[in-house]
Amino acid sequence: MSGRGLALLLALLALALLAALVFGEVRLAPGEIWDVLNGHGDATARTILLDFRLPRALVAMAVGAALACSGVLMQSFFRNPLASPGLLGVSSGGALGAVLAFAFGWASTSLWALPLASIAGAFLATVAVIALAREGASTEHLLLAGVALNALFGAGTSFVLTLKAGHFEEGGQILFWLMGGLESRTWEHVWISLPGVVLACLLVLPSARALNLLAMGEQGAQSLGVNVRRLRWELILLSTVLTALATAVGGVVGFVGLIVPHLLRLAFGPDHRRLLPLSMLGGAAFVLACDLVARTMPGQLRLGVVTALAGGPFFLWMLKRGGRS
């Protein structure tokens, strides 16, 4: 079962990656891609692939894996399948941090300034949600806290953007931070996000078994030998860092952390030893696919708009079912 799921998700991811490299304004044949990756191929193909499509695809994968994994962790923390980085306002917090880093010029001083500012913003949001909702909170409580924080951080972001409009006019930056997107992502963005995301994902995996126990109740988990306090800190830190890294390079991309874990739980069960790796792969494939739709559809859709179009109806359906998985 586990092997089948892993094989399926790996195949989906490979397919999405191939499609992301093949399709675009100029179509590259798989043969041409192969040549370029082997150090051959013509200059145009090299530029398109190595300067544009490959870094963008890698960032998309990092963003997707990070948000889906973060979603799983938040759902464990709050023991509520509707918890996710977008709905709880953690992404918005990260975006505010990132926008501040740009507005005050910190982002140009160091490669680390942007992700760190984003982490600080996301952390602020996480702490606020925990203070407002606490673990095992009702869905209403969680969502209301999220609504308030999203509005607050969104307003903060809009305020900074309009205040410092000069900094953000180029390349649709304002739209980028409010709606999410992967336009003109470069290798720099890959280095900001990918290593951190991979590291955080690897750090999460050993806790999968303890997460299963936590999912069945906090006190029960502790009585069975889980150091719940430490585990909860781990969850907060890792889920926040993952969301922040995704937001630092992709803006606010909603619903990934909600849909991907939920669908995979329906298909392969709630065991975190399966769910975590599958969600990372599934999230990467999902964002790759959504970004492909965003950049190939007429009218230049934003990534955040595509994930919201896919996720919004899904979320409403979940809400109607009472949030159970």
Partner 1 sequence: MIAARKLHVEGRLAEVSLELPTGCLAAVLGPNGAGKSTLLQALAGLLPAEGEVAWRGEDLRRIPYLERARILAWVGQESHADFGFPVREVVAQGRFAYGDDGRGVDEALAAFDLAHLADRAVTRLSGGERRRVFLARALATGAPLQLWDEPTSHLDVRHGLEVLELANGLKAKGATVLMSLHDLRAAQCFDRVLVLHKGACVGSGAPEAVLTPELLLEVFGVRARRDADLILELPR
Among 30, 171, 195, 220, binds partner 1 (CB under 8 A): 220
Residue 297 binds partner 1 (CB under 8 A): no
191 in Cβ contact with 130 (< 8 Å):
no
Taking CB under 8 A as the binding criterion, the range among 28-36, 114-122, 264-272, 312-320 that sits at the site for partner 1 is 264-272
Task: Kindly provide the b/e burial profile for residues 72-96, where b requires at least 16 CB atoms within 10 angstroms of the residue's own CB.
Answer: bbbbbbbebbbbbbbbbbbbbbbbb
Q: How far is the CB of 261 from partner 1 (least distance, A)?
A: 11
Q: Which is nearer to partner 1, 121 or 270 (CB)?
A: 270
32 in Cβ contact with 216 (< 8 Å):
no
Q: How many residues bind partner 1 (CB under 8 A)?
A: 24
Q: How far is the CB of 312 from partner 1 (least distance, A)?
A: 23
End-to-end CA distance of the chain: 19
Q: How far is the CB of 215 from partner 1 (least distance, A)?
A: 5
Residue 324 binds partner 1 (CB under 8 A): yes
Contact positions with partner 1 (CB under 8 A) in 186-205: none
Q: Which is nearer to partner 1, 80 or 193 (CB)?
A: 80
Binding mask 49-88 for partner 1 (x = CB under 8 A): ------------------------------xxx-------
Residue 3 binds partner 1 (CB under 8 A): no
DSSP 215: H
Residue 222 binds partner 1 (CB under 8 A): yes
Among 45, 215, 237, 263, binds partner 1 (CB under 8 A): 215
Q: How far is the CB of 276 from partner 1 (least distance, A)?
A: 14
Q: Which is nearer to partner 1, 150 or 279 (CB)?
A: 279
Q: Which is nearer to partner 1, 221 or 310 (CB)?
A: 221
Q: Which is nearer to partner 1, 21 or 231 (CB)?
A: 231
Q: Which is nearer to partner 1, 38 or 219 (CB)?
A: 219
Tell me the three state secondary structure of residue 322: coil
DSSP characters over 137-206: --HHHHHHHHHHHHHHHHHHHHHHHHHTHHHHTGGGHHHHHHH---TT--HHHHHHHHHHHHHHHHHHGG
CA distance 325 to 17: 29
Listed in sequence order, the DSSP H helices in the chain are 2-22, 30-37, 43-46, 54-78, 90-103, 113-133, 139-163, 165-168, 173-179, 187-204, 208-215, 218-223, 228-250, 256-268, 272-296, 303-320
Residue 140 binds partner 1 (CB under 8 A): no
Q: Let me know if 207 is exposed, middle or buried by CB neighbors in 10 A (0-12, 13-18, 19+).
A: buried
Which residues are CB-neighbours of 278 under 8 A, at least 6 positions away?
A: 5, 6, 9, 264, 268
Residue 325 binds partner 1 (CB under 8 A): yes
CA distance 108 to 167: 12
Residue 227 binds partner 1 (CB under 8 A): yes
Q: Let me know if 317 is exposed, middle or buried by CB neighbors in 10 A (0-12, 13-18, 19+).
A: exposed
Q: Which is nearer to partner 1, 172 or 269 (CB)?
A: 269
Q: Which is nearer to partner 1, 114 or 210 (CB)?
A: 210
Among 224, 267, 316, 319, binds partner 1 (CB under 8 A): 224
Chain residues that interact with partner 1, rule: CB under 8 A: 79-81, 209-210, 212-213, 215-217, 219-220, 222-227, 265, 269-271, 324-325
